[in-house]
Amino acid sequence: MGATPIIHPVPTRNRSSLSLAMVMAILLPACGESAPSSGDASPSAGETVTIAFGGDVNLGRRQNAISARDGHAHALEGVPALREADLAIVNLESVVSGIGTGGVEKGESGPFYFRGRPEMLNVLLAAGIDAVGTANNHSGDYGPDALVDQARLLDAAGIAHAGSGQDMHAACAPTMLAAGDLVVGLVSVDATMPHFAATDDAPGTCHLDLADSNAWRLRIGPALEEARRVAQVAVVAVHWGPNLATEPSEEKRAIGRLLVELGADAVLGSSAHVLQGIEVHDGRPILHDAGNLLFDSQEGAVDSALFLLDVNANGVVGVRVEPLLSDYGVTAVAPAAGRDRILGDLASMSAALGTTLQGNGIAFDPPAREPPVAPAAVPERQPVATEPADEPPPGCVVDEMPAGLAGEPQDLGPLTFLGARLEPQPVDGDRYASVESYWRVDAPVTEDLWLSPRLDSTGGGDTWRGDHEPCDWAWPTSRLQPGVIYRDWVTLRPRDDPGPELVLRVGVTDGEDTIELSGELGRLPVADD
């Protein structure tokens, strides 16, 4: 059975569009593989509009605090092409919700968990992002309830989404988006995290195994057919491949080509957190990875890019690359030197895939296409700012503390430490440790302080730090109420050379100064390799 398309209104903005003649004047013909020429574009192709595609956007973890400090618009205001495009799509590499509990099983030895507070959707709104793919290895970090809650929040904010749903059918269904006078069908698929996969009767993501091409054919083929019935253009956003890989695997390339053969006008790749090259198959672009569009873990700016797809009713007529530098929680257009370097690197990576970039892009000449048999009318919806949650997430507030906690109550600035415990398991270089701690304030706190747990190595190895806001980033100290007991939980990831034992210490920091609890709170043995 084909996937039922979901009609998502897209916020109407004052967006510019380019005519086909303007696009072809900007872009020189590619010397790599290109679409079969059909002569002049058919008059039925109509207007040409621009779809902007950006890579991974993590609204969780430190981005919560960065945006609270600098404002939601600050993160991506340096990327005006997002707002200028007729349609802007990114991979939402976190879950945004006020509920859920971290630590869900991911089948990884040292997992990361990313959750953004509900108001973090305002980062997307301020940037001009219309739609997000939610099929990835972090959308289920806080369980299925948080994933379902994220869909509710996205709908309320006027942000379209694809890639997750109440069951596998809904998760893989195409979402219909407006781009000027065109309708674009978006399908979102993950190939990295089977633990989050939706089933026939349980919510989750649209997950498929890269090694099982038949599953892609059976699941995504019908979804694209449904999209083609009502939309002029169909694109597939795919979260695939290992972190930091600079070139796609043969499995990825095979699935990318299959998606084009199944009817995708473009394949929009993410997952590696670094740029990969552009491949062209049957005259359609496969963008293997767009890198990080917004992340909180950069130590110095890293290369990124925004891909601008110029499309008409016949398909993609051009791809342009806008080089970016993605820094600590903020991204902007790259200056001249960075622009040349990024374009040069992308040209080399694309050449290895048989594609030649001319300047900053590639031009295509798609053949005339019959219009959809049942054109969709996508209703307009205005973006609506998201308000912060009214209450802390479940598990953040407790009536009493459990027995067996380490440490005595002690004031650390305006916060009172009440006790903590370390997860009682051996740790080696491929695993993680979790710290559970309890806190109270006796008077309102006006500033947002961070809890600062750490594990010190007795053998002189690196310290494992976990500076974060209370309740696993969900409830800043300025929201703590006097007399309430707050439970916090955080994972500390291993560093190199952990040493024979790890010693737990806890403090509170304002980002410059740290007040630390006197004494240690426990020790954790490190397993032999």
Same-domain status, 441 and 323 = no
pLDDT digits (tens, 9 = 90+) for 4-26: 566 555 554 544 333 333 333 33
461 is in which domain, residue-wise? Answer: 397-525
pLDDT in tens, 48-73: 999 999 999 999 999 999 999 999 99
Residues 349 and 418 in one domain: no
Per the structure, the count of domains in the chain is 2
Amino acid at 73: A
The torsion angles phi and psi of 523, rounded to 5 degrees, stand at -130, 145
Would residue 120 count as lying in a domain?
yes
318 and 434 housed in the same domain: no
Mean pLDDT confidence for 150-178: 97
pLDDT band at 27 (very low <50, low <70, confident <90, very high): very low
pLDDT digits (tens, 9 = 90+) for 356-414: 999 999 999 999 999 999 988 888 778 999 999 999 999 999 999 999 999 999 999 99
Q: Does residue 15 lie in a domain region?
A: yes
Any domain includes 125: yes
Could you tell me if 138 and 276 lie in one domain? yes
Same domain, 31 and 102: yes
Would you say residue 384 lies in a domain?
Answer: no
- 390 inside domain: no
pLDDT of residue 11: 54
16 within some domain: yes
CATH number at residue 135: 3.60.21.10
pLDDT value at 154 more than 70: yes
Please answer whether residues 257 and 288 qualify as being in contact, where contact means their C-beta atoms are separated by less than 8 angstroms.
Answer: no
Same domain (yes/no): 353, 405? no
Read off the pTM. Answer: 0.91
Instruction: Choose between 223 and 526: higher pLDDT.
Output: 223
Asked whether residue 401 is assigned to any structural domain, the reply reads yes
The CA distances from residue 389 to 122, 148, 365, 476, in Å, are: 13, 16, 49, 12
Q: What is the mean pLDDT of residues 78-89?
A: 98
* Shared domain check, 469 and 343: no
Confidence of residue 36 (pLDDT cuts 50, 70, 90): very low
Angle at 253 between CA 248 and CA 255, to 5 degrees: 130
> How crowded is residue 106: how many other Cβ atoms within 10 Å of its Cβ?
18
Task: Give CA–CA dist 202/140, Å, rounded.
Answer: 13
278-281 and 284-287 beta bridge pairing: antiparallel
Given 313, 343, 363, the domain boundary residue is: 363
Whether 43 has a pLDDT exceeding 50, the answer reads no
- 404 and 343 share one domain: no
Alpha-carbon span 242 to 265, nearest angstrom: 24
Is 377 among the domain residues?
Answer: no
| Helix, strand, coil fractions of the chain, as percent rounded to 5 | 20, 30, 50
Same domain, 403 and 298: no
> What pLDDT, on the 0 to 100 scale, is given for residue 5?
65
Residues 140 and 213 in one domain: yes
Distance between CA atoms of residues 150 and 120, nearest Å? 11
CATH label of the domain that carries residue 492: 2.60.40
- Quick check: 449 and 506 in contact, CB under 8 A? no
The upper half-sphere exposure of residue 283, i.e. CA atoms within 13 Å in the direction of its Cβ, equals 15
- DSSP-assigned letters across all residues of 354-399: T---BTTEEE--PPP-PPPSS----------PPPPPSSPPTTSEES
End-to-end CA distance of the chain: 49
Q: Quote the CA–CA distance of 5 and 63 in Å, as a whole number.
A: 33
Q: Which long-range contacts (CB under 8 A, 24 or more apart) does 251-258 make?
A: 251/210, 251/211, 252/210, 252/288, 253/279, 253/286, 253/288, 253/353, 254/213, 255/191, 255/210, 255/213, 255/216, 256/281, 256/286, 256/288, 257/281, 257/282, 257/286, 258/213, 258/216, 258/217
Last residue within a domain, chosen from 310, 338, 363: 363
- For residue 14, the model assigns a pLDDT of 42
* Residue corresponding to tokens 């796609």: 248
Query: How does the average pLDDT of the chain come out, rounded?
Result: 90
Compute the distance between CA of residue 421 and CA of residue 310 in angstroms, rounded to an integer.
Answer: 55
Same domain, residue pair 192 and 71: yes
**Contact (CB, 8 A) for 200 and 167:** yes
Task: Assess whether 302 and 430 both reside in one domain.
Answer: no
Residue 430 has pLDDT above 80, yes or no: no
